[in-house]
Amino acid sequence: MANLNGFNASEVEPTSNFEPLPAGKFLAAITESEMKPTKTGSGKYLQLTFTVIDGPYKNRILWARLNLDNPNATAVKIARSELSAICHAVGVMQPRDSVELHNLPLVIVVKLKKREDTGELTNEIKGYERKASAGQAQQAPVTDNTPPWKR
């Protein structure tokens, strides 16, 4: 059992939609990051939580896993390239800690992928881009680094 400290569901808007996002580009920010062990224990991956920060899907969350420490050299090369794309997109070229990438706006390119085990559609982040200038962006730009849930 878990103590829910007097939680009152009448005071919280219920979640209504767990459908995947449509394929497209979304203005987002990294809101959490954590290094985790791989399932086999032979390496570690950086799990990044992205929160959509504008538009009709605001506050929806997506994840990326970067295999930065792995016996498979190809997996590490792919992860390092992906991390480089994120760094370029947010303008932080030499982060010492993943928290330096938090709350900086970037565009994530989202695709739909069919899960092999269930056949259900799920989202996958397939690219990262620098946030467009105000005149080019489809969604309104972020004007501060306040986390989305505090706006």
Three-state secondary structure readout of 78-118: HHHHHHHHHHHHHCCCCCCCHHHHECCCEEEEEEEEECCCC
For 102-151, the pLDDT digits (tens) are 999 999 999 999 999 999 999 999 999 999 854 444 443 343 444 444 44
pLDDT class of 34 with cuts at 50, 70, 90 = very high
Please tell me the predicted confidence (pLDDT) of residue 150.
45
Please calculate the CA angle 59-78-122 and round it to the nearest 5 degrees. 40
What does the chain come to in residues? 151
Please tell me the predicted confidence (pLDDT) of residue 30.
98
3-state class (DSSP) for residue 20: coil
Which residue ranges make up each domain of the chain?
Answer: 19-132
**CATH code linked to domain 19-132:** 2.40.50
Please tell me the predicted confidence (pLDDT) of residue 133.
55
